Amino acid sequence: MFIAFPFVVISLFFTLFGFLLTGALDAFLTVYSASKAEYANSMRWSRQGGYLEMFRTVTQSVRHVPCKVTAAMVIMITASLVTMFASVGLSRMVHQTEIETNPGTVLSQTSQMLRHGVVPDGWTEYLGQSSAANEALKTMLVNPQYIVNMDSRKRYTPRTYDYEVACDKFDTAVTRNISEAILDPIKGALYYADGGCSVIGFDLYNLMFNWTLANATYERVSDGRYKLVTGGAFLGDSIQDLNEFDKVTSTIFDNTTALLLLDTMGTLVRNGTFSNLAINSTLVVLTDVTGAMVHYLGCNSRWVTRPTDLSLLCQYVVVDAFTTTPGLEDPIIAAAVGDRTASLVKYTSNIITMRHFASSTTSAGMAIYSVSEIINATLASTRYMASLGPNFVMDDINQQLTILYDTTDIQSVSEMPTALFWTMVVVMVVCAGAIVFAMIKYDVRHKGSLYMVLHEKMKLHLDETDPALMRCTFEPLSLDGICILQKGTDGLEDKEP
């Protein structure tokens, strides 16, 4: 159960519990004393002297009193220890936690933080081996820089929706310039229909490699797999020796079997596809479609010194994609972003970068990456972004980010097992009843301290009948001048040298 009272109130509750336990033990000893047990009052009075006095009393009396009296003394000492530590021990079962109350909704519109395709630090997240991509995305989206007038007392969660997949099988297309392809899909893209319900295009526009669609060959290798080969001029620097392709890929990835296109590209490297002496550079692009998963591998070769030195630059891309059926747009979002139909014809992009740390390194210090973790992160990210639906609008044209958040107030409370709480309440009620019963039923001889017993016997010699502080002397032992023990009989007087 959750208790919303301040922690000091909880502490007072446990203190009261310990106080009532102690009082109940006193009440039990009162009943024991009234049962005409000869040693009961000695036990009560020794308890008032503390644990050291109780231990000394029981060890010195064990050979001179009946066994049942010794057992009763041991039980009393044990019960005293239990009452002292019970409330402290039970309080360890209470923990501070947070609960969410007052659910609400907040719409945030702010600068998108993207500037012309450049990804700033705010849209970059680093994933370790145990990191979950969807959790990393949530962390990015609740960054205070994206929430206007963020309230630190609230918890913000991007609203998600149930979605229905409409299409998860794609054809692939290769373009040199995505803007040209959108205006003229026939002339602006190399496309091979393979029964897909939509198309995923790869834009190969590159300032360092000059090529044309007209000079490219685009052919079907097998079901769902296609190959583009073209020559051109490579104007930058490429890396890696061509002959090192297989060695490098098997070194930097822990499992190359999940990267479907590496073997095919390795074959093309070895059979001379990249070694055309008549051209400066050769570009080979492989694509493979397996359901919603699309693999892309593009490699550029470049002659450094013909015909002996040929280098290679490659890029592997894995795309997880599907389209969803149109859902009802949240009216809050609809009112905020308005009609977005006109902006759809323009080239826009939602760019979030997830960088993966290497899973290990080789003896030579080369990083090794886990293919399965990267692909699983891709799948999780796609599904999380789909669940955001129309709630997440990253408008690169207008430089504006719109997100709808579900909010709750965060309240700090104490969490306590329900059974423990009610057990303590019942015990406290029983203890309180025992204390009241002992106070009403028995007189001071059985429930009072030795001081109170003496005071009761001295009433006839005192001006006041109610207990009060009295002066005490030890030679002889006297209270307010009334002798309790004669001098020399208490063993406390100073001895002459």
Tens of pLDDT, residue by residue over 366-420, are: 778 888 888 888 888 888 888 888 888 777 667 777 888 999 988 887 888 888 8
Report the distance separating Cα 301 and Cα 232, nearest Å: 10
- For the ranges 195-199, 325-329, 405-409, the lowest mean pLDDT is seen at 325-329
Q: Burial-class residue 149 by CB neighbours within 10 Å (0-12, 13-18, 19+).
A: exposed
Q: Which of 316, 355, 359 is nearest to 123 (CA)?
A: 355
- Mind listing the pLDDT tens digit for each residue in 43-76? 778 887 777 888 888 887 877 888 888 888 888 8
Report CA 175 to chain centroid distance, whole Å: 43
For residue 490, is pLDDT > 70? no
Of 204-208, 236-240, 383-387, 434-438, the least confident: 236-240
Q: Are 99 and 408 in contact (CB under 8 A)?
A: no
Mean pLDDT of 286-312: 83
Beta strand residue intervals within 79-224, DSSP E: 95-111, 124-127, 154-158, 165-167, 170-175, 189-192, 198-203, 209-210, 217-222
Give the position of tokens 């599904």: 383
Contacts of 274 (CB under 8 A, 6+ apart): 242, 268, 282, 284, 299, 301, 310, 312
Structural domain count of the chain:
4
Indicate if the pLDDT at residue 325 is higher than 80.
Answer: yes
Query: Which residue's structure tokens are 């066994």?
Result: 67
Q: Sort 141 into a burial class: Cβ within 10 Å, 0-12 / 13-18 / 19+.
A: buried
The verdict on 311 and 174 lying in the same domain is yes
pLDDT at 343: 47
Share of the chain above pLDDT 70, in %: 83
Per-residue pLDDT, 112: 58
Instruction: Among 214-218, 457-461, 487-491, name the one with the lowest average pLDDT.
Output: 487-491
Please give the DSSP secondary-structure letter assigned to residue 495. P
The whole-number pLDDT of residue 425 equals: 92
- Rounded distance, CA 38 to CA 61, Å? 14
Together in a domain, 181 and 236: yes
Both structure tokens of 180: 């040209």
Residues 285 and 192 in one domain: yes
For residues 170 and 147, state if they share a domain: no
Q: Tens digits of per-residue pLDDT, 150-169?
A: 888 888 988 888 888 888 88
Mean pLDDT of the chain: 78
Domain that residue 224 falls in: 166-323
pLDDT of 496 = 41
Q: Both 139 and 174 in a single domain?
A: no
Region 418-436: what's the mean pLDDT? 90
Q: Which of 260, 264, 250 is nearest to 290 (CA)?
A: 260
Q: What is the mean pLDDT of residues 268-289?
A: 86
Domain end call among 277, 294, 323: 323
In this structure, are 274 and 319 located in the same domain? yes
What pLDDT is stored for residue 351 in this prediction?
65
Q: Is the peptide bond before 307 cis (omega within 30 degrees of 0)?
A: yes
Cis geometry, peptide bond prior to residue 144 (ω within 30 degrees of 0)? no
116 in the Ramachandran plot: left (φ > 0), alpha (ψ -120 to 50) or beta? left
Are 170 and 316 members of one domain?
yes
pLDDT value at 193 more than 90: no
The DSSP-derived string for 262-324 is HHHHHHHHHTTTT--TTSSEEEEEEEEEETTEEEEEEEEEEEEETTTEEEEEEEEEEEE--EE
Distance CA 47, CA 69 (A): 14
Assess contact for 259 and 253: CB atoms under 8 A: yes
Burial of 162 (0-12, 13-18, 19+ CB in 10 A): exposed
- All residues at 6 or more sequence positions from 36 whose CB lies less than 8 Å from its CB, including other chains: none
Please tell me whether residues 280 and 305 are part of one structural domain.
yes
Closest among 60, 67, 292, 56 to 171, alpha carbons compared = 292
Tell me: do 262 and 181 sit in the same domain.
yes
Burial 267-305 (b: 16+ CB within 10 A, else e): ebbeeebbeeeebbbbbbbbbbbeebbbbbbbbbbbbee
Residue 174's nearest CA partner among 38, 286, 313 is: 286
Lowest mean pLDDT among 36-40, 169-173, 478-482, 486-490: 486-490
- CA 26, 29, 35, 36 dihedral sign is negative
Positive or negative, the CA dihedral 32, 37, 39, 41 is: positive
Candidate from 24-28, 193-197, 246-250, 458-462 with smallest mean pLDDT: 458-462
pLDDT classification of 115: cutoffs 50, 70, 90: low
Instruction: Give the residue among 433, 324, 432 at the shortest CA–CA distance from 20.
Output: 432
Q: What is the pLDDT at residue 492?
A: 46
Domain check: are 170 and 252 in the same one?
yes
Residue 439, CA distances (Å) to 18, 35, 109, 472 in order: 19, 16, 69, 28
Q: Give 478 or 25, the one with higher predicted confidence.
A: 25
Task: Give yes or no: residues 267 and 211 share one domain.
Answer: yes
Answer with the residue of higher pLDDT: 304 or 288.
Answer: 288
Which residue shows structure tokens 């007087």? 493
- Print burial letters for 342-358: b (CB count within 10 Å at least 16), e (below 16): eeeeeeeeeebebebee
145-154, 335-344, 404-413, 426-435: segment of lowest average pLDDT: 335-344
> Bridge partners of 232?
281
Question: Cα dist. 446→38, 50, 200, 439, 470 in Å?
Answer: 11, 19, 93, 10, 22
pLDDT at 494: 46
- Residue 67 burial (CB count, 10 A): 8
Cα angle vertex 447, ends 442, 452, to 5°? 115
pLDDT at 348: 47
d(CA 47, CA 23): 13
Domain boundary among 323, 338, 371: 323
Judgement on whether residues 382 and 247 belong to the same structural domain of the protein: no
Boundary of a domain, candidates 323, 341, 375: 323
Q: What is the pLDDT of residue 426?
A: 93
